[in-house]
């Protein structure tokens, strides 16, 4: 750049802005000043290159730290961000580079033996809320995400079509540079080519040499039957595109199952409560409960069933994820005492009470007998 405008000012962000804020601001400005939307406008093209340069710096934690401390001087020849080291001495490039340079030959590789591979794209996370019915049956779904994809103009190479790459003059195509301090020699990724070993002679205008562009993509995928809350689905190669043709990262979809009004779940077992009348509990009978499979499940209630008893219906629960069969449905019985009685019903219950001997409800009879004995 001919004039050194503050990077934060270019991106319209505070110096304390987090990564997400900086990325969001960059996307808005990039769409506003992109050459495709401002054909022939030199000012827009210059503005687009400026904000792209600012974002390339601030999105990298190490470059941002150097810029925050030294400003634009960090990236001039000999500056800290240009490979000269913060204190004028050797730049170790981080502990991983020290470890590799000292122990590389002992770990089965030779330090500096070739250009470093360009790193794959970043993985992405997407949180998706589904119903318990979706988890039971599975479904075909799709999500819309903002993601970087391979540039269609340069086909992901980062170079203008018809042009190519040349060996990096700083590292001679090795992808790494060495620095020495006393008897020790240290290696780090070449700052001139970011470890690729080559530089682009004529960067693609659309992607600014990155080989990837920001876009909104709709991605279809399948939710298999039996998934649970917290299940993670991996969509391979659907994450951020790698720079200059490197492999894309993965997209991870985390599933969150909504609370159901009837059923609760533990693994493949479904739980439900079923209030029944006291006559059904006393005389026995059947209740019908609709299952998530769309069928009515008839559950037999034995005579004398007490409140709190659990009845199990085999095979009426959740499907086994990536397996065969289903879990069980467990129904918890709750005996409901009538709150409204007509005259005839009251008459019949009074007649029943007159015939009670205490043997009909042995638990309550025994309980009050113990209280009387305790009180003398």
What residues does 142 pair with on adjacent strands? 220
State the pLDDT at residue 47. Answer: 87
What is the number of H-type helices and E-type strands within the chain?
Answer: 9, 15
Instruction: Report the relative pairing of strands 184-189 and 176-181 from DSSP bridges.
Output: antiparallel
Q: Is the pTM of this model over 0.85?
A: no
Residue 342: predicted pLDDT: 94
Q: Is 57 labelled a binding residue?
A: no
CATH 2.60.260.20, applies to 264-375: yes
Rounded-to-integer distance, Cα 220 and Cα 143, Å: 7
Q: Would you state the pLDDT for residue 299? A: 92
Per-residue pLDDT of the chain (376 residues), as tens digits, is 334 678 888 899 888 888 888 998 998 898 888 887 887 788 788 888 889 888 988 988 888 888 887 777 777 644 445 443 333 333 333 333 433 433 433 333 433 444 445 578 889 999 999 999 999 999 999 999 988 888 888 888 888 888 877 878 788 778 788 877 766 777 787 877 777 777 888 888 888 888 888 889 999 999 999 999 999 999 999 998 887 778 889 999 999 999 999 999 999 999 999 999 999 999 999 999 988 988 898 999 999 999 999 999 999 999 998 888 999 999 999 999 988 999 999 999 999 989 988 787 777 767 767 777 777 6
SS3 labels along 91-121: CCCCHHHHHHHHHHHHHCCCCCCCCCCCCCC
Domain boundaries, the chain: 264-375
CB atoms < 10 A from the CB of 190, how many? 25
- Is 41 annotated in some ligand binding site? no
Q: Is 13 among the annotated ligand-binding positions?
A: no
Pick the closest to residue 134 from 57, 229, 199, 212 (CA basis): 229
Q: What is the pLDDT of residue 157?
A: 82
Q: Which two tokens stand for residue 205?
A: 């205008």
At 16, give phi and psi (nearest 5°).
-95, 5
């Amino acid at each position: 750049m001919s004039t050194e405008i503050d990077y934060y000012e270019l991106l319209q962000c505070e110096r304390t802005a987090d990564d997400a804020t900086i990325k969001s601001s960059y996307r808005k400005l990039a769409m506003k000043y992109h050459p495709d939307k401002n054909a022939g406008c030199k000012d827009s093209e210059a503005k687009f290159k400026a904000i792209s340069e600012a974002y390339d710096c601030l999105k990298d934690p190490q470059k941002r730290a150097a810029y925050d401390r030294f400003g634009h001087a960090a990236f001039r020849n000999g500056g800290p961000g240009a490979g000269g080291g913060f204190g004028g001495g050797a730049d170790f490039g981080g502990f991983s580079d020290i470890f590799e340079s000292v122990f590389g030959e002992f770990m089965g590789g030779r330090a500096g033996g070739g250009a470093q591979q360009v790193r794959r794209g970043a993985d992405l996370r997407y949180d998706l809320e589904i119903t318990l019915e979706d988890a039971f049956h599975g479904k075909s779904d799709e999500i819309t995400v903002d993601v970087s994809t391979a540039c269609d103009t340069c086909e992901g190479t980062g170079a203008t079509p018809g042009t190519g790459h040349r060996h990096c003059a700083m590292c001679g195509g090795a992808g790494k540079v060495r620095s020495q301090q006393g008897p020790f020699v240290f290696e780090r990724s070449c700052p001139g080519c970011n470890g690729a070993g080559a530089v682009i002679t004529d960067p693609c205008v659309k992607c600014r040499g990155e080989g990837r562009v920001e876009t909104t993509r709709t991605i279809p995928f399948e939710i298999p039957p039996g998934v649970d809350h917290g299940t993670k689905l991996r969509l391979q190669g659907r994450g951020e595109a790698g720079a200059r043709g490197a492999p894309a990262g993965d997209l991870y979809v985390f599933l969150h199952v909504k609370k159901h009004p009837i059923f609760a779940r533990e693994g493949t077992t479904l739980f439900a409560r079923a209030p029944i009348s006291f006559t059904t509990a006393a005389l026995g009978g059947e209740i019908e409960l609709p299952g998530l499979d769309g069928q009515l499940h008839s559950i037999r209630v034995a005579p004398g069933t007490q409140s709190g008893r659990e009845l199990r219906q085999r095979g009426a629960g959740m499907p086994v994820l990536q397996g065969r069969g289903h879990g069980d449905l467990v129904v918890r019985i709750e005996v409901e005492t009538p709150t409204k009685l007509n005259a005839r019903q009251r008459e019949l219950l009074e007649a029943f009470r007159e015939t009670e001997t205490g043997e009909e409800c042995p638990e309550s009879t025994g309980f009050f007998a113990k209280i009387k004995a305790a009180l003398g």
